[in-house]
Chains A and B, each alone.
Chain A
């Protein structure tokens, strides 16, 4: 999820930590965090996924004035092109992170996408599975690589049972 401007904000880290039920003070209390080994507030290990908030055109965020595929007056606001009546769905299959350097509130990250591999196989529950990999490198304001993320998505040909 490429973005030129992913500001690391204390409030955002706090909300993210709450959403995963993590009450560790290092995620919300700067004075408690000062006494820890990192010495400052840090984000939880999966936080960079929230760069989606700062990615232009991210397809899973509604856009003002444009139809949204979730429900409103109707069960969906977008009539999708038929894909053969398969009911297939895109899913997140794998996620991998490598942590290279610390992140803290005040940092401004840049996320650069790199293409990955793609492959297919027959699945037991969702018909033909089409996998695609993407690699995102997160750099801080000093151009230091802080996190490498590798994501694998899968498109199923029918509803997963």
Chain B
């Protein structure tokens, strides 16, 4: 259900756990669907022996996609007008991520009601991995 202006307040929050115990298989699914086959995400031998990382890690875009699931569940289908993030820290296999949207502003632009959100996703240790903003159309 789309959000309604009458029911929203600056500071309101919506949180969802967007992945529990991220599997290497899900990272491989994302590689296959997105077309980003960088071995850093799926190839343990390359990643540990050549690139020098402790293990493979998720695509930043997988973290953004997982975070976007929370956003679309909150604002409704086809309601986003903007969504942008910075990839703050790596996401590793086994991580559990919780994504939160916070209402920063409720406004009108060219006769359209909009909500501005700040977005933050943290791992099981509370460390932020994705930080961003989004804007969505809302009902009056």
> How far apart are A74's CB and chain B's nearest CB, in angstroms?
9
A residues with a Cβ closer than 8 A to B are 12, 15-16, 18-22, 24, 26, 36-38, 42, 44-46, 49-53, 55, 58, 60-62, 69-71, 75-76, 87, 89, 91-99, 102, 150, 159-160
B82 touches A94 (CB 8 A): no
* B106 on the A face (CB < 8 A): no
Nearest-neighbour CB distance to chain B for A133, whole angstroms, equals: 12
For residue A112, give the distance in angstroms from its CB to the closest CB of chain B: 18
| CB proximity of A31 to chain B, nearest CB, Å | 15
In the A-B complex, the 7 residue pairs with the smallest Cβ-Cβ separation, listed nearest first, are: A96-B84, A70-B39, A20-B65, A52-B35, A53-B35, A19-B29, A71-B45
Chain B residues near A (Cβ < 8 Å): 2, 18-19, 26, 29-30, 32-40, 42-43, 45-46, 49-53, 59-62, 64-66, 68-69, 71-73, 76-87, 90
* Contact indicator A94/B46 (Cβ below 8 Å): no
**Given A89-B51, A91-B87, A159-B51, A19 and B78 touching (CB < 8 A)?**
no
Return B44 CB to nearest CB of chain A, in Å: 8
B72, A44: Cβ atoms closer than 8 Å: yes
Known: A38-B78, A71-B39, A93-B60. 5 other contacts (CB 8 A): A19-B30, A37-B2, A75-B50, A94-B86, A97-B82
Are A45 and B33 closer than 8 Å at their CB atoms?
Answer: no
Q: Return the chain B residue nearest A15 by Cβ.
A: B33
Q: Give the CA-CA distance A22 to B66 in the complex, in Å.
A: 8
Shortest CB-to-CB span from B16 to chain A, Å, is 11
Q: How far does the Cβ of B77 sit from chain A's closest Cβ, in whole Å?
A: 5
Cross-chain contact B34 with A45 (CB below 8 angstroms): no
Complex partner residue of A94 from B30, B38, B84, B90, CB under 8 angstroms: B84
Rounded to whole angstroms, the CA-CA distance of A76 and B38 in the bound complex is 12
Q: Known contacts A19-B32, A44-B72, A159-B52; is A96 also within 8 Å of B19 by CB?
A: no
Residues of A within 8 Å of B73, CB to CB, are 24
Partner of A19, one of B38, B65, B76, B80: B65
Instruction: Report yes or no: A95 in contact with B78, Cβ–Cβ below 8 A.
Output: no
Complex contact A50–B82 (CB within 8 A): no
Q: How far is the CA of A60 from the CA of B77 in the complex (A)?
A: 31
CA distance A99 to B68 in the complex (A): 13
In the assembled complex, 15 residue pairs joining A and B whose CB atoms fall closer than 8 Å, in A order, are A19-B30, A19-B33, A20-B69, A37-B76, A37-B79, A46-B61, A49-B36, A49-B61, A75-B49, A91-B60, A91-B87, A94-B87, A95-B60, A99-B83, A150-B84
